[in-house]
């Protein structure tokens, strides 16, 4: 027992050391963390700081009482925000935050270079960066009590530019946000275009955070009214139409297609034949989850971990839905947790479906990378969700599984295989958000009060409109 404890302490000490070594400095100040420090592979863009990646590290630093790096990150990335009106198809829209940045040198001069997707796979801009930025700004304020930063005019303007980008007039009848494939954590073609769950949940959390951060003076009150109306409609929409359990599945199974009119049961014209065979046997009696995507004539029945876990943390999922999600994890532990928490997506795409959906992407081969791979960074989200639902014993079990193995395997980016038993075929080692995912989970378990940094209370039901 003593030897096991010593081994765990050694792994955590090593994780802290690696996190410190990953820090990027700009003009002598800590500004972010590199994506990975793998000595065996070319850096490519892994030597940059990705906005979505840094959130995990930022939470670790905030929980450890080291907010300086987070403040610097928020200040400098705000300066990188796009302010240009889109003049052609090859420029980022106004309000967009970069996917990543790096420090470059011209002699003794230092400057930051941002990537808005110009160098990304398939040149997709990251919509999740600006959403995570707002969520992190709120977390910084919760951790430090520093109310002045977000109330600076440039920060107020930055939030409004993001809201302009997200609340723009649309060719749509839904309160959800329309995005292309590759616009968030799953940044390669995986059939998650249109209204993917992850973006809707981050959008929802960012709107709540904006409501807390925006000042009502000037045109701030107009923005507050806009986002409040959208919040209520988005909550109603996701809870009522994305949710899947056996009761809901039975309703979809008996749907009539091609219904016309406003008061119809099958509002999205989902055909019962689209229900996958695996789902009716896989769903436990007391379990449920939010579907991966929803649009005209389309429901993506796949389970996506980040969107579901964040829906619990942000109170977008109701209390009963959140408990059902935890029941799903408990009943389908091998599928969703396995030998390395947490599986990003279940089930995997295979055969002709994999060819057609991914474009024969070899990195997203079945049970690998985003197509059914296991990602240690999701450990902190899983831990936060279990704390929110009072099911912390599930997180303790998952952390125990991950802790020793991550240290032995040198903190890989992701794991492959049905149950995550293999280090990912193209996974970087010493991946910073894998390191931070474990540390953040450990800190949340050690001090549940840290949950306030990322958790959101439920909003009132009388906001906005219904579909």
Per-residue CA distances from 287 to 284, 305, 307 (Å): 5, 14, 16
pTM of the model: 0.95
pLDDT given at position 466: 40
Peptide bond into 342 cis (omega under 30): yes
Compute the mean pLDDT over every residue in the chain, rounded to the nearest whole number: 93
Q: Three-state SS for 47? A: coil
DSSP labels for 205-244?
HHHHHHHHH--STTTHHHHHHHHHHHHHHHHHHHHHHTEE
Q: Which residues in the chain land under pLDDT 70?
A: 1-10, 85-91, 462-467
| Total number of residues shown for the chain | 467
pLDDT given at position 206: 98
| E runs forming strands in 227-362 | 243-244, 289-290, 293-295, 298-300, 303-304, 345-346
* Structure tokens that stand for 181 in this block: 């494939």
CATH topology of domain 2-453: Glycosyltransferase (1.50.10)
Peptide bond into 347 cis (omega under 30): yes
pLDDT given at position 30: 98
Give the Cα separation of 185 and 433 in Å (integer). 12
pLDDT given at position 435: 98
| E runs forming strands in 331-399 | 345-346
Q: Render pLDDT for 241-251 as a digit per residue (tens, 0 to 9).
A: 999 999 999 99
Does residue 402 contact residue 341 with C-beta atoms inside 8 Å? yes
pLDDT given at position 334: 98
pLDDT given at position 460: 85
pLDDT given at position 467: 41
pLDDT given at position 78: 98
Give the Cα separation of 293 and 304 in Å (integer). 9
Give the Cα separation of 125 and 181 in Å (integer). 10
């Amino acid at each position: 027992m003593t030897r096991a404890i010593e081994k765990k302490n050694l792994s955590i000490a090593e994780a802290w050391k690696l996190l410190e070594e990953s820090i990027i400095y700009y003009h002598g100040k800590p500004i972010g963390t590199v994506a990975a420090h793998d000595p065996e592979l070319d850096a490519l863009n892994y030597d940059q700081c990705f906005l979505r990646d840094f959130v995990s590290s930022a939470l670790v630093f905030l929980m450890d009482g080291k907010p300086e790096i987070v403040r610097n990150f928020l200040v400098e990335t705000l300066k990188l925000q796009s302010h240009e009106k889109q003049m052609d198809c090859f420029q980022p829209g106004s309000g967009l935050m970069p996917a990543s940045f790096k420090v470059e040198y011209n002699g003794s001069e230092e400057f930051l270079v941002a990537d808005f997707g110009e160098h990304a796979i398939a040149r997709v801009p990251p919509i999740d960066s600006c959403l995570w930025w707002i969520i992190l700004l709120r977390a910084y304020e919760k951790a430090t009590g520093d109310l002045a930063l977000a109330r600076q005019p440039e920060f107020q303007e930055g939030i409004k530019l993001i809201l302009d980008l997200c609340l723009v007039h649309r060719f749509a009848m839904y309160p959800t946000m329309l995005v292309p494939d590759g616009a968030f954590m799953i940044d390669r073609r995986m059939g998650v275009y249109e209204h993917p769950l992850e973006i809707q949940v981050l959008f929802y959390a960012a709107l709540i955070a904006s409501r807390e951060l925006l000042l009502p003076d000037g045109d701030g009150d107009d923005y507050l009214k806009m986002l409040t109306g959208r919040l209520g409609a988005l909550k109603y929409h996701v809870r009522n139409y994305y949710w899947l359990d056996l009761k809901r599945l039975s309703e979809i199974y008996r749907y009539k297609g091609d219904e016309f009119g406003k008061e119809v049961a099958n509002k999205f014209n989902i055909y019962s034949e689209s229900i996958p065979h695996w789902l009716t046997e896989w769903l436990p009696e007391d379990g449920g989850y939010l579907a991966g995507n929803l649009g005209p004539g389309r429901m993506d029945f796949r389970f996506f971990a980040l969107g579901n876990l964040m829906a619990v943390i942000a109170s977008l999922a109701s209390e009963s839905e959140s408990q059902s999600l935890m029941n799903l994890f408990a009943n389908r532990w091998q599928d969703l947790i396995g030998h390395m928490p947490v599986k990003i997506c279940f089930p995997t795409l295979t055969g002709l479906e994999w060819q057609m959906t991914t474009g024969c992407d070899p990195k997203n081969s079945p049970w690998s990378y985003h197509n059914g791979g296991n990602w240690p960074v999701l450990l902190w989200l899983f831990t936060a969700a279990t704390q929110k639902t009072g099911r912390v014993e599930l997180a303790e079990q998952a952390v125990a599984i991950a802790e020793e193995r991550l240290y032995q395997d040198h903190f890989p980016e992701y794991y492959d295989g049905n149950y995550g038993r293999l280090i990912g075929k193209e996974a970087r080692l010493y991946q910073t958000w894998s390191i931070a995912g474990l540390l953040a989970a450990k800190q949340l378990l050690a001090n549940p009060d840290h949950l306030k940094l990322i958790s959101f209370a439920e909003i009132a039901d009388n906001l906005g409109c219904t579909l």
